[in-house]
Amino acid sequence: MKRAYIFLLSFLIFSCSNELEKITPPDIRAAEAIDDLNEKLQAPSQGWKIDYQPTPESGIFQVIIDFKENGIASINSDLTDNNGAFVQQDIPYRIDNALAIELIFETYAVFHYLFELEQSQFGAEFEFLFEGEDGDDLVFSSKSDLTSPTLIRFTPASSSDLDQFSLEESKNITSYNKFTPLVSGGVAPIQRIEIPGRNVSLFWFIDITRRTITAGFISTGTTEAEVLASADKLKLNQTTTYKYSSGKIVLSEPLTFTFMGDSYSIGSVALDDFSTSQIEICSGTLSDFPNYTGSIEGLGSVNITKSFLEFEGLKMIPQTESPYSVNVFFAFDDLTRSLIQIGLLADRFPTATGIAFNYGFDSEEEPANAMGLYLEAVDGSRLTYLREFQLISQVGNRLEISFTNDFYYSDPISGTEEEDLTAFTDLMFEGGVVYIFDFPVDDVTVFRLFNPCNSHEFFLVQ
């Protein structure tokens, strides 16, 4: 019995040794997995096409990658930022196998650029985990998205895919970024889509960085003057993402609505002819403004111009009970620098604490309409310096005023205060017109006032 037991034990040990010998060592398995993915990446003759959408909230960037045997990835993209630096690049790549098989692009390219946008909060990635195959496609996921990883699908490219890139259109659309608020994330450029066949204008925000579109409102009228005069407006507030393809802006989800009895469904906009025209924003100064002609299926020809009109600015109305005001820090030059830190206020009113804006203010002492500053006196009390203005008009979010030479001071002045206050108010309202934008803040009503004449802006709290 004892002899039989020893024999059985020896047999089991021998069998297990044979099975262990059949198990491939981890380093060899890792190398095989890397080689296998490399073969798959290098297989398509035209490379791989990727409709890269970093997050569900962003639009699509088209990329074609051709992986070479020498470890170089030839990348084409439809991103025209940085003077076209990312349109075509040859960069090294590698495949790692740490906790999972990873595809890593080793030098700075389109994915790295997108990763760094918005202080690296945009949601893009340049390291991808290999998830497996789905038919002819390879599926990867973003390495850094731990809670909700983005899936990236590599599809074998065709010889015509590169022709669908709309590089010229993408580059031209970036010109709408000019004369746009920049402070605290800025405001996406507003485009006015004139639809002559229906005598309407559609206004939308186009976020060129994130590739999103938010329809603001639609109005009767095909010129800005007609829109300003029209009482027929509809707030839309619909947001969708987009991509460029075959000379079109293609929306991920169509904009659908009904206005004045007509139905609208906008799924794409064909971009045909781009041009610029000189517009007088400031008196005596002409600036180039972009214009696109194109068409929308079912609506006919359209003209796409830059605009500043926005629906939410209508909420800034005269306040009889108290002035609008804000901390003095919130006045900025065209380089987004606070004027109290560097600029006119720092030089001439270093003790200023706030910006005052009387708009219909019912006061026995102060002018009903005036702009100025709150300052801290030597004894710690508050001084108020104001310059009166006449309201020319507020139509929509367009505010036009004209300053007078009448001033109000809570205490007597003894120096150049009047000259300095004139310089400050003239600077913020150079050209006489500002555009009002809503600035969303929880539990507080805040407006951004932007001057397209000199790109200065300031904020006001209601």
Q: How confident is the model at residue 126 (pLDDT cuts 50, 70, 90)?
A: confident
The whole-model pTM stands at 0.86
Q: CA 57 to CA 150: how far, in whole Å?
A: 12
Q: How confident is the model over 223-261, as pLDDT tens digits? A: 988 998 899 999 999 999 999 999 999 999 999 999 999
Q: How confident is the model over 339-361, as pLDDT tens digits? A: 999 989 999 999 999 999 999 99
By the 10 Å C-beta count (0-12 exposed, 13-18 middle, 19+ buried), 62 is classed as: buried
* Per-residue tokens: 164: 């669908």
Q: CA 257 to CA 344: how far, in whole Å?
A: 47
Where exactly are the structural domains of the chain? 26-163, 169-309, 314-461
Q: Is the pLDDT of residue 429 over 60?
A: yes
Q: How confident is the model at residue 146 (pLDDT cuts 50, 70, 90)?
A: low
Tell me what percent of the residues of the chain surpass a pLDDT of 90: 75
Q: Which one-letter amino acid corresponds to residue 148?
A: S
By the 10 Å C-beta count (0-12 exposed, 13-18 middle, 19+ buried), 114 is classed as: buried
pLDDT top residue among 98 and 204: 204
Q: CA 232 to CA 226: how far, in whole Å?
A: 11
Angle, vertex CA 212, rays to CA 208 and CA 215, nearest 5:
110
Q: Is the pLDDT of residue 111 over 60?
A: yes
Say which residues have a Cβ less than 8 Å from residue 172's Cβ, sequence separation at least 6.
271, 274, 290, 292
Structure confidence at residue 22 (pLDDT) = 56
Q: CA 251 to CA 458: how far, in whole Å?
A: 33
How many residues are recorded in the chain? Answer: 462
Q: How confident is the model over 154-172, as pLDDT tens digits? A: 999 999 999 899 999 999 9
Distances (CA, A) of 268 to 54, 118, 154, 294: 21, 27, 25, 11
Find out whether 141 and 129 touch, Cβ atoms under 8 Å.
Answer: yes
Q: CA 234 to CA 311: how far, in whole Å?
A: 9
Q: How confident is the model at residue 16 (pLDDT cuts 50, 70, 90)?
A: very low
With CA atoms as reference, report the closest residue to 438 among 447, 426, 429, 428.
447
Find out whether 58 and 209 touch, Cβ atoms under 8 Å.
Answer: no
Output the DSSP codes for 245-274: ETTEEEEEEEEEEEETTEEEEEEEEEEEEE
Q: How confident is the model over 366-392, as pLDDT tens digits? A: 999 999 999 999 999 999 999 999 999
Q: Which one-letter amino acid corresponds to residue 317?
A: I
Q: How confident is the model at residue 124 (pLDDT cuts 50, 70, 90)?
A: confident
Q: How confident is the model over 302-332, as pLDDT tens digits? A: 999 999 998 777 789 999 999 999 999 999 9
Q: How confident is the model over 30-64, as pLDDT tens digits? A: 778 888 999 999 999 999 999 999 989 999 999 99
